[in-house]
């Protein structure tokens, strides 16, 4: 059976006065209903841009997009990248939905939350205002907001940050979408509320059998929620695998760098956390070799300075576990073992 979503060779470029920004290049992955994929990487690596392309949210006049994002629906496949704006409008909210880090950027300050949830429902359903209001209250209940019948009449500023994010989730899932893209949904929240929102996403996923794409720059938050992880660097996917493969058998130096910067309970206090030195490259002038080379502690192990001159292709290092690196999995494990022993 075909996966629910198949993204193939997705490339997004922004022509600017300074040159073309290659925000996302050759991104391919697939996702099934009920599955959670985390997309992880530093700020500016193309996480939002690639997913906004799937949602059809870029201005076509200022963006060059190629590749495909095929939704295998019961009614037949639709390629969201290459379809018309009317089809996209019908898909948004119903087939795919997206929530952002800052709920205030998506919630209107002058309308009650009940109105806004009902409005989202009316976009895809025929029904009276009373039915819309009832649906809004049900949704607030579902996302764990007490006194839903009263609170539908409140305005967004009357809710705390965590509660506003719950309202956003209610609005995003009111039409039972098949795919929910959550773009840094917990970044602005404190740790306890973060974990409550992630738990809520999991509950909603079970309720609606949704596929979830969780975008985050924090590898630490994904272990408990994701099934698979895509690691992005400078607009490209550099490693793709299950949570266990990424956390315990990573075969890419960048992922290993990210893992080294996560606090771990089994780490002694005197071992300082490592950060990856340096900055990602400009997406206008990408290096001709591996984009991670200037920061990579493994590059000297690759003969003939290949990392500087040749871009690594994506290869399958073990079944379903992909990485873009000139080194083999065995070489990475060996070098990593020695580097750890040195510390
Ligand atoms: N409209 C645009 N015009 C030109 N460049 C853009 C545009 N939108 C995004 N970019 C650039 O594309 C790159 C990828 O941006 P994107 O927003 O996807 O990053 P991100 O991984 O989501 O980062 P963050 O974690 O900070 O949200 C960045 O370098 C950004 O500056
Ligand atoms: S290809 Fe070279 S520079 Fe790039 S990640 Fe692998 S070892 Fe590092
Ligand atoms: Mg982003």
Ligand 2 binding pocket mutation candidate from 231, 325, 328, 331 (most atoms within 8 A of CB): 325
pLDDT at residue 337 in the model? 83
Q: How confident is the model at residue 341 (pLDDT cuts 50, 70, 90)?
A: low
**How close is the Cα of 220 to the center of ligand 1, in Å?**
22
pLDDT at residue 261 in the model? 75
Give the residue from 207, 224, 215, 240 showing the smallest Cα distance to 317: 240
pLDDT exceeds 80 at position 293: yes
The percent of residues in the chain predicted with pLDDT above 90, rounded, is: 84
Ligand lying nearest the CA atom of residue 309: 2
Render pLDDT for 203-245 as a digit per residue (tens, 0 to 9): 999 999 999 999 998 888 898 899 999 999 999 999 999 999 9
Q: Is the C-beta atom of 307 inside 6 A of ligand 2?
A: yes
Render pLDDT for 9-55 as a digit per residue (tens, 0 to 9): 999 999 999 999 999 999 999 999 999 999 999 999 999 999 999 99
Give the mean model confidence (pLDDT) for residues 117-142.
Answer: 96
H or E element at residue 23: strand 19-31
Please indicate, yes or no, whether the overall pTM of this predicted structure exceeds 0.85: yes
Give the mean model confidence (pLDDT) for residues 108-113.
Answer: 96
| Residues in contact with ligand 1 (CB, 6 Å cut-off) | 14, 16, 21, 23, 41, 43-49, 217, 283
More confident residue, 157 or 260: 157
Render pLDDT for 243-278 as a digit per residue (tens, 0 to 9): 999 999 999 999 999 998 766 555 554 455 568 899
| Whether the Cβ atoms of residue 232 and residue 47 lie closer than 8 Å to each other | yes
Q: Which fold has domain 5-226?
A: Rossmann fold (3.40.50)
Atom 6 in ligand 2: which residue has the minimum CA distance?
325
How far, in Å, are 19, 81, 241, 300 from residue 179 at the CA level? Answer: 34, 15, 20, 42
Give the mean model confidence (pLDDT) for residues 190-207.
Answer: 91
Domains in the chain: boundaries: 5-226, 250-342
Distance CA 79, CA 67 (A): 9
Q: Is the C-beta atom of 233 inside 6 A of ligand 2?
A: no
Distance from first CA to last CA of the chain, Å, rounded? 47
Nearest ligand 2 atom to the CA of 326 is: 1
pLDDT at residue 177 in the model? 96
pLDDT at residue 140 in the model? 96
pLDDT at residue 95 in the model? 97
Give the mean model confidence (pLDDT) for residues 148-172.
Answer: 95
Neighbours of 304 (CB within 10 A): 8
pLDDT at residue 102 in the model? 82
Render pLDDT for 313-329 as a digit per residue (tens, 0 to 9): 999 999 999 999 999 99
pLDDT at residue 271 in the model? 53
Give the mean model confidence (pLDDT) for residues 57-81.
Answer: 97
More confident residue, 267 or 306: 306
| Whether the Cβ atoms of residue 239 and residue 254 lie closer than 8 Å to each other | yes
Q: What is the mean pLDDT of the chain?
A: 93
HEC sequence for 204-264: HHHHHCCEEEEEECCHHHCCCCCCEEEEEECCEEEEEEEHHHHHHCCCCHHHHHHHHCCCC
């Amino acid at each position: 059976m075909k996966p629910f979503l198949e993204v193939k060779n997705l490339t997004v470029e922004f022509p600017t006065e300074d040159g073309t920004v290659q925000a996302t290049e050759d991104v391919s992955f697939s996702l099934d209903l009920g599955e959670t994929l985390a997309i992880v990487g530093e700020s500016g690596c193309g996480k939002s841009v690639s997913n906004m392309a799937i949602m059809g949210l870029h201005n076509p006049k200022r963006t060059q997009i190629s590749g495909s994002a095929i939704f295998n629906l019961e009614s037949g496949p639709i390629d969201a990248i290459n379809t018309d704006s009317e089809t996209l409008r019908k898909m948004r909210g119903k087939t795919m939905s997206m929530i952002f880090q800052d709920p205030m950027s998506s919630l209107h300050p002058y309308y009650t939350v009940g109105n806004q949830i009902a409005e989202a429902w009316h976009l895809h359903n025929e029904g009276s205002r009373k039915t819309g209001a009832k649906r809004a209250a049900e949704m607030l209940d579902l996302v764990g907001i007490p006194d839903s019948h009263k609170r539908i009449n409140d305005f967004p500023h009357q809710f705390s940050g965590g509660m506003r994010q719950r309202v956003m989730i209610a609005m995003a899932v009111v039409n039972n979408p098949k795919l929910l893209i959550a773009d840094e949904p917990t970044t602005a929240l404190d740790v306890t509320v973060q974990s409550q929102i992630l738990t809520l996403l999991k509950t909603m996923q079970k309720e609606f059998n949704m596929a979830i794409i969780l975008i985050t720059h924090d590898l630490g938050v994904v272990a408990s929620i994701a099934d698979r992880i895509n690691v992005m660097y400078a607009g490209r996917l550099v490693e793709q695998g299950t949570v266990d493969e990424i956390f315990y058998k990573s075969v890419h130096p960048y992922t290993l760098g990210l893992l080294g910067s996560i606090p771990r309970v089994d780490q002694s206090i005197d071992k300082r956390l490592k950060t990856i030195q340096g900055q990602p490259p400009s997406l206008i002038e990408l290096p001709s070799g591996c984009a991670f080379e200037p920061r990579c502690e493994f590059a000297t192990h690759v003969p003939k300075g290949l990392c500087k001159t040749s871009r690594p292709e994506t290869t399958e290092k073990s079944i379903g576990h992909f990485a873009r690196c000139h080194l083999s999995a065995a070489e990475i494990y060996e070098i990593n073992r020695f580097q750890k022993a040195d510390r």
